[in-house]
Amino acid sequence: MINNSVRFDIILKMEEFTFLDDIATADVAIESRGDTLEELFSASARATFDVMVNAGDVQPEVKKTLRLENSEIDGLLFDWLAEIIYLKDSEAMVFCKFDIKIKKDVNYHLDAEIFGEEIDQSRHELRCDVKAITFHLFEVYEKDGKWISRFILDI
């Protein structure tokens, strides 16, 4: 139990994202970082939902599983963000917790369990809806042992 909470703290500390004010006017630009690809993908997903809802209000009540495959790591991140944006509308859900595993053989493979709950306008502090992930200025790279991505969400 103690071990689990310690690990949770570490994950929170390492997963980071910032909003980039100077490269988008109508849309939202984000830089996300992680020590591993899993952390990068989790931080990117958290950032995406942070645009739409106060994640502190969202309970991890319902689990959805996702499996994605792509030959390129940037393609996989694009697919991942496109998929969670799709689920937001098709399931009318917001998500707050992302358990991700990424493996590489010839292609990159992502297996994820994501947790959240159905959107309740009376209880959730909702913000601005995200329409899509764009390819504009989209990049994923590794620098000094960190995985970094930059992406722009259409609002």
Partner 1 sequence: MNSDMKINKISDWVWEIPKTEKEGMLVPARIFASDTLLESMDKGVFEQITNVACLPGIQKYALCMPDGHWGYGFPIGGVAAFDTEEGIISPGGIGFDINCGMRLITTNLKVDEVRPLLQSLINELYRAVPAGVGAKGDIKVSVSQLKDIMKRGAEWCIENGYGWPQDQQRIEENGHIPGADPSKVSEKAISRGINQLGTLGSGNHYLEIQLVTIENIFDEKIAKVMGIREKDQIVIMVHCGSRGFGHQIATDYLRVFDKAMKKYGMTVRDRELACAPFKSPEGSDYYKAMLCAANSAFANRQIITHRIRESFSKVFDADARKLGIEIVYDVAHNIARVERYKIDGREKEVLVHRKGSTRSFGPGSRELPEIYRDVGQPVIVGGSMQTGSYLLVGTQKAMEETFGSTMHGAGRTMSRSAAKKKVRGDQLIRTMAKDGILVKAASLSGLAEEAGIAYKDISEVVETMDVLGISKKVVQLKPIGNIKG
Q: Is 115 in the site for partner 1 (CB under 8 A)?
A: no
90 counts as binding partner 1 under rule CB under 8 A: yes
Cα→Cα distances 11→27, 42, 81, 121, 129, Å: 28, 10, 20, 29, 26
Q: Given the rule CB under 8 A, which of 5-13, 37-45, 80-88, 104-112 is the region that contacts partner 1? A: 80-88
Q: Closest distance between partner 1 and the C-beta of residue 127, in Å?
A: 5
Is residue 121 part of the contact set for partner 1 (CB under 8 A)?
yes
Minimum Å distance from CB 53 to partner 1? 7
Q: Applying CB under 8 A, what is the total number of residues that bind partner 1?
A: 41
Is there binding between residue 128 and partner 1 (CB under 8 A)?
Answer: yes
Determine which residue in the list 37, 43, 84, 152 makes contact with partner 1, applying CB under 8 A.
Answer: 152
Comparing CB distances to partner 1, the nearer of 94 and 102 is: 94
Is residue 23 part of the contact set for partner 1 (CB under 8 A)? yes
What sign for the dihedral angle of Cα 42, 117, 55, 90? positive
* Site of interaction with partner 1 (CB under 8 A): 19, 21-28, 52-53, 78-79, 82, 85-86, 88-90, 92-94, 118-119, 121, 125-129, 131-138, 152, 154-155
